[in-house]
Homo-oligomer: A and B are copies of this chain.
Amino acid sequence: MLSYPVIALNFKTYLESIGENSVRLAKIAEDVAKEHGITIIVAPPLLDLEKVVKEVEIPVFAQHVDPYKPGSHTGSIIAEDVKAIGAAGSIVNHSEHRLLLADIGMVLERLRENKLISLLCTDTVETTKAGAALGPDMLAIEPPELIGTGIPVSKAKPEVVTGAVEAVKKINPSVHILCGAGISTGDDVAKAIELGTEGVLLASAYVKAKDPKKVLSEMAEAALKAWESRRV
Protein backbone atom coordinates (compact mmCIF):
# COMPACT_ATOMS: atom_id res chain seq x y z
CA MET A 1 0.00 0.00 0.00
CA LEU A 2 1.08 3.55 -0.65
CA SER A 3 1.84 6.07 2.08
CA TYR A 4 0.28 9.53 1.85
CA PRO A 5 0.52 12.30 0.81
CA VAL A 6 1.03 11.34 -2.82
CA ILE A 7 2.28 13.29 -5.80
CA ALA A 8 1.12 11.62 -9.02
CA LEU A 9 2.86 12.68 -12.24
CA ASN A 10 0.98 12.09 -15.47
CA PHE A 11 3.64 12.28 -18.20
CA LYS A 12 0.97 12.38 -20.93
CA THR A 13 2.51 12.13 -24.43
CA TYR A 14 4.52 15.30 -24.82
CA LEU A 15 7.68 15.40 -26.93
CA GLU A 16 9.38 15.98 -23.57
CA SER A 17 8.00 12.71 -22.14
CA ILE A 18 8.05 10.11 -24.92
CA GLY A 19 10.86 7.64 -25.66
CA GLU A 20 14.00 7.98 -23.56
CA ASN A 21 12.68 11.19 -21.98
CA SER A 22 10.20 9.09 -20.04
CA VAL A 23 13.07 7.33 -18.25
CA ARG A 24 14.88 10.59 -17.56
CA LEU A 25 11.79 12.17 -16.00
CA ALA A 26 11.02 9.04 -13.99
CA LYS A 27 14.54 8.90 -12.54
CA ILE A 28 14.35 12.51 -11.41
CA ALA A 29 11.04 11.71 -9.71
CA GLU A 30 12.64 8.71 -8.03
CA ASP A 31 15.49 10.87 -6.72
CA VAL A 32 13.06 13.38 -5.24
CA ALA A 33 10.91 10.63 -3.72
CA LYS A 34 13.93 9.13 -1.99
CA GLU A 35 15.43 12.42 -0.84
CA HIS A 36 12.17 13.62 0.70
CA GLY A 37 10.66 10.29 1.73
CA ILE A 38 7.41 10.92 -0.09
CA THR A 39 5.35 8.75 -2.44
CA ILE A 40 5.68 9.86 -6.05
CA ILE A 41 3.81 7.97 -8.76
CA VAL A 42 4.82 8.29 -12.41
CA ALA A 43 2.57 7.50 -15.37
CA PRO A 44 4.71 7.40 -18.55
CA PRO A 45 3.34 6.97 -22.08
CA LEU A 46 1.98 3.45 -22.62
CA LEU A 47 4.66 2.55 -25.16
CA ASP A 48 7.36 3.45 -22.63
CA LEU A 49 5.73 1.87 -19.59
CA GLU A 50 7.83 -1.30 -19.29
CA LYS A 51 11.09 0.55 -19.89
CA VAL A 52 10.34 2.92 -17.02
CA VAL A 53 9.24 0.09 -14.73
CA LYS A 54 12.63 -1.52 -15.23
CA GLU A 55 14.58 1.64 -14.43
CA VAL A 56 12.95 2.96 -11.26
CA GLU A 57 11.70 1.62 -7.93
CA ILE A 58 8.85 4.08 -7.37
CA PRO A 59 5.26 3.10 -8.33
CA VAL A 60 4.73 3.26 -12.10
CA PHE A 61 1.17 3.54 -13.44
CA ALA A 62 -0.39 3.06 -16.87
CA GLN A 63 -2.21 6.13 -18.20
CA HIS A 64 -5.18 4.01 -19.28
CA VAL A 65 -6.47 0.44 -19.18
CA ASP A 66 -9.30 -1.04 -21.26
CA PRO A 67 -12.25 -2.92 -19.71
CA TYR A 68 -11.46 -6.17 -21.54
CA LYS A 69 -10.18 -9.52 -20.37
CA PRO A 70 -7.31 -11.00 -22.39
CA GLY A 71 -8.68 -12.09 -25.77
CA SER A 72 -9.54 -10.98 -29.26
CA HIS A 73 -8.86 -7.24 -28.88
CA THR A 74 -6.54 -5.18 -31.08
CA GLY A 75 -4.69 -2.09 -29.87
CA SER A 76 -6.09 -2.44 -26.35
CA ILE A 77 -4.40 -2.19 -22.96
CA ILE A 78 -5.15 -5.26 -20.86
CA ALA A 79 -4.81 -5.25 -17.05
CA GLU A 80 -3.04 -8.63 -17.14
CA ASP A 81 -0.36 -7.13 -19.38
CA VAL A 82 0.02 -4.05 -17.15
CA LYS A 83 0.67 -6.52 -14.32
CA ALA A 84 2.96 -8.74 -16.40
CA ILE A 85 5.32 -5.91 -17.20
CA GLY A 86 5.51 -4.92 -13.54
CA ALA A 87 3.48 -1.71 -13.31
CA ALA A 88 1.74 -0.90 -10.02
CA GLY A 89 -1.57 0.54 -11.17
CA SER A 90 -3.38 2.75 -13.65
CA ILE A 91 -5.07 6.10 -14.14
CA VAL A 92 -8.72 5.56 -15.09
CA ASN A 93 -11.07 7.94 -16.95
CA HIS A 94 -8.64 10.84 -17.35
CA SER A 95 -10.36 13.86 -18.90
CA GLU A 96 -8.32 13.17 -22.06
CA HIS A 97 -9.48 9.55 -22.12
CA ARG A 98 -13.03 9.54 -20.80
CA LEU A 99 -14.84 6.22 -20.33
CA LEU A 100 -18.44 5.04 -20.29
CA LEU A 101 -19.82 4.64 -16.76
CA ALA A 102 -20.36 0.93 -17.45
CA ASP A 103 -16.74 0.56 -18.60
CA ILE A 104 -15.35 2.34 -15.52
CA GLY A 105 -17.08 -0.28 -13.39
CA MET A 106 -15.42 -3.01 -15.43
CA VAL A 107 -11.97 -1.38 -15.52
CA LEU A 108 -11.93 -1.06 -11.71
CA GLU A 109 -12.89 -4.73 -11.43
CA ARG A 110 -10.16 -5.72 -13.87
CA LEU A 111 -7.57 -3.74 -11.86
CA ARG A 112 -8.72 -5.30 -8.57
CA GLU A 113 -8.52 -8.79 -10.04
CA ASN A 114 -4.94 -8.09 -11.06
CA LYS A 115 -3.95 -6.46 -7.77
CA LEU A 116 -3.31 -3.14 -9.48
CA ILE A 117 -3.95 0.23 -7.83
CA SER A 118 -6.63 2.44 -9.40
CA LEU A 119 -6.54 6.24 -9.65
CA LEU A 120 -9.92 7.37 -10.98
CA CYS A 121 -10.36 10.88 -12.41
CA THR A 122 -13.62 12.83 -12.14
CA ASP A 123 -14.61 16.36 -13.12
CA THR A 124 -17.32 17.68 -10.78
CA VAL A 125 -18.56 17.13 -7.23
CA GLU A 126 -21.46 15.14 -8.70
CA THR A 127 -19.30 12.74 -10.69
CA THR A 128 -16.92 12.50 -7.71
CA LYS A 129 -19.81 11.12 -5.67
CA ALA A 130 -20.45 8.59 -8.42
CA GLY A 131 -16.76 7.78 -8.66
CA ALA A 132 -16.41 7.28 -4.90
CA ALA A 133 -19.37 4.87 -4.98
CA LEU A 134 -17.42 2.74 -7.47
CA GLY A 135 -14.67 2.22 -4.89
CA PRO A 136 -11.37 3.05 -6.60
CA ASP A 137 -8.20 3.12 -4.46
CA MET A 138 -7.61 6.78 -5.25
CA LEU A 139 -9.74 9.44 -6.88
CA ALA A 140 -8.50 12.71 -8.38
CA ILE A 141 -10.93 15.52 -9.06
CA GLU A 142 -9.82 17.64 -11.99
CA PRO A 143 -12.06 20.36 -13.43
CA PRO A 144 -11.10 19.93 -17.11
CA GLU A 145 -11.34 23.66 -17.86
CA LEU A 146 -8.29 24.24 -15.60
CA ILE A 147 -6.06 21.43 -16.95
CA GLY A 148 -2.87 22.84 -18.41
CA THR A 149 -3.76 26.43 -17.50
CA GLY A 150 -1.43 26.92 -14.53
CA ILE A 151 -4.47 28.18 -12.60
CA PRO A 152 -4.62 25.74 -9.68
CA VAL A 153 -7.95 24.16 -8.83
CA SER A 154 -6.97 24.50 -5.17
CA LYS A 155 -7.09 28.29 -5.54
CA ALA A 156 -9.54 28.87 -8.41
CA LYS A 157 -12.23 26.47 -7.21
CA PRO A 158 -11.53 25.56 -3.56
CA GLU A 159 -15.24 24.79 -3.08
CA VAL A 160 -15.01 22.05 -5.73
CA VAL A 161 -12.09 20.49 -3.85
CA THR A 162 -13.74 20.68 -0.43
CA GLY A 163 -17.05 19.53 -1.92
CA ALA A 164 -15.28 16.51 -3.39
CA VAL A 165 -13.47 15.77 -0.13
CA GLU A 166 -16.75 15.83 1.80
CA ALA A 167 -18.56 13.76 -0.81
CA VAL A 168 -15.91 11.05 -0.69
CA LYS A 169 -15.93 11.00 3.13
CA LYS A 170 -19.67 10.52 3.10
CA ILE A 171 -20.05 8.03 0.26
CA ASN A 172 -16.91 5.94 0.62
CA PRO A 173 -14.32 7.06 3.18
CA SER A 174 -11.86 4.33 2.19
CA VAL A 175 -11.13 6.16 -1.08
CA HIS A 176 -8.04 8.40 -1.02
CA ILE A 177 -8.75 11.74 -2.63
CA LEU A 178 -6.35 13.86 -4.68
CA CYS A 179 -6.96 16.93 -6.78
CA GLY A 180 -5.50 18.12 -10.04
CA ALA A 181 -5.67 20.71 -12.84
CA GLY A 182 -3.42 23.74 -12.87
CA ILE A 183 -1.14 22.55 -10.03
CA SER A 184 2.21 24.27 -10.75
CA THR A 185 4.00 25.19 -7.51
CA GLY A 186 4.67 24.05 -3.97
CA ASP A 187 2.08 26.57 -2.83
CA ASP A 188 -0.61 24.96 -4.98
CA VAL A 189 0.23 21.56 -3.52
CA ALA A 190 0.16 22.89 0.06
CA LYS A 191 -3.20 24.53 -0.54
CA ALA A 192 -4.61 21.28 -1.98
CA ILE A 193 -3.60 19.38 1.13
CA GLU A 194 -4.91 22.09 3.42
CA LEU A 195 -8.28 21.70 1.71
CA GLY A 196 -8.38 18.08 2.84
CA THR A 197 -6.89 16.11 -0.06
CA GLU A 198 -4.19 13.48 0.31
CA GLY A 199 -2.17 14.60 -2.67
CA VAL A 200 -2.13 15.96 -6.19
CA LEU A 201 -2.14 14.84 -9.82
CA LEU A 202 -0.20 17.00 -12.26
CA ALA A 203 1.40 16.87 -15.70
CA SER A 204 2.78 19.83 -17.66
CA ALA A 205 4.17 21.74 -14.67
CA TYR A 206 6.59 18.83 -14.18
CA VAL A 207 7.05 17.49 -17.70
CA LYS A 208 7.63 20.89 -19.29
CA ALA A 209 9.61 22.46 -16.43
CA LYS A 210 13.05 23.86 -17.23
CA ASP A 211 14.25 22.30 -14.00
CA PRO A 212 11.88 19.44 -13.17
CA LYS A 213 13.88 18.41 -10.11
CA LYS A 214 13.59 21.85 -8.53
CA VAL A 215 9.84 22.08 -9.19
CA LEU A 216 9.19 18.61 -7.81
CA SER A 217 11.41 19.08 -4.76
CA GLU A 218 9.49 22.22 -3.81
CA MET A 219 6.23 20.37 -4.23
CA ALA A 220 7.43 17.45 -2.11
CA GLU A 221 8.57 19.77 0.65
CA ALA A 222 5.36 21.79 0.59
CA ALA A 223 3.25 18.63 0.59
CA LEU A 224 5.00 17.15 3.60
CA LYS A 225 4.88 20.41 5.53
CA ALA A 226 1.14 20.91 4.87
CA TRP A 227 0.51 17.27 5.76
CA GLU A 228 2.37 17.66 9.03
CA SER A 229 0.41 20.82 9.92
CA ARG A 230 -2.87 19.02 9.26
CA ARG A 231 -1.98 16.21 11.67
CA VAL A 232 -1.24 18.55 14.53
Which chain B residue lies CB-closest to A76?
Answer: B13
Q: Which B residues touch A209, using CB under 8 A?
A: none
The verdict on A20 contacting chain B, using a C-beta distance below 8 Å, is: yes
Establish whether residues B48 and A13, one from each chain, have CB atoms under 8 Å apart when the complex forms: no
Establish whether residues A75 and B94, one from each chain, have CB atoms under 8 Å apart when the complex forms: yes
The verdict on A110 contacting chain B, using a C-beta distance below 8 Å, is: no
The verdict on A176 contacting chain B, using a C-beta distance below 8 Å, is: no
Establish whether residues A96 and B80, one from each chain, have CB atoms under 8 Å apart when the complex forms: no
Establish whether residues B12 and A72, one from each chain, have CB atoms under 8 Å apart when the complex forms: yes
How many whole Å from A162's CB to the nearest CB in chain B? 17
Given A18-B70, A46-B47, A47-B50, does the pair A127, B102 have CB atoms closer than 8 Å? Answer: yes
When all copies of this chain in the complex are counted, the total is: 4
Docked CA distance A45–B47 (Å): 10
Q: Which B residues touch A51, using CB under 8 A?
A: 50
Given A48-B50, A93-B101, A130-B101, does the pair A19, B84 have CB atoms closer than 8 Å? Answer: yes
Given A81-B13, A98-B102, A135-B126, does the pair A91, B74 have CB atoms closer than 8 Å? Answer: yes
Docked CA distance A94–B100 (Å): 11
Establish whether residues B19 and A81, one from each chain, have CB atoms under 8 Å apart when the complex forms: yes
How many whole Å from A217's CB to the nearest CB in chain B? 24
The verdict on A210 contacting chain B, using a C-beta distance below 8 Å, is: no
Which chain B residue lies CB-closest to A172?
Answer: B129
The verdict on A104 contacting chain B, using a C-beta distance below 8 Å, is: yes
Docked CA distance A101–B67 (Å): 14
The verdict on A105 contacting chain B, using a C-beta distance below 8 Å, is: yes
21 A-B pairs with C-beta separation under 8 A: A19-B84, A45-B81, A48-B81, A50-B51, A72-B203, A74-B91, A74-B95, A74-B96, A75-B77, A93-B101, A95-B102, A98-B101, A100-B100, A102-B124, A105-B124, A105-B127, A105-B130, A109-B126, A129-B134, A130-B131, A133-B133
| Nearest 4 A/B pairs, CB to CB | A64-B75, A19-B84, A129-B133, A130-B130
Known: A46-B46, A76-B97, A100-B100; 7 extra A-B contacts, CB below 8 A, are: A19-B84, A46-B76, A46-B77, A72-B96, A76-B96, A129-B133, A171-B171
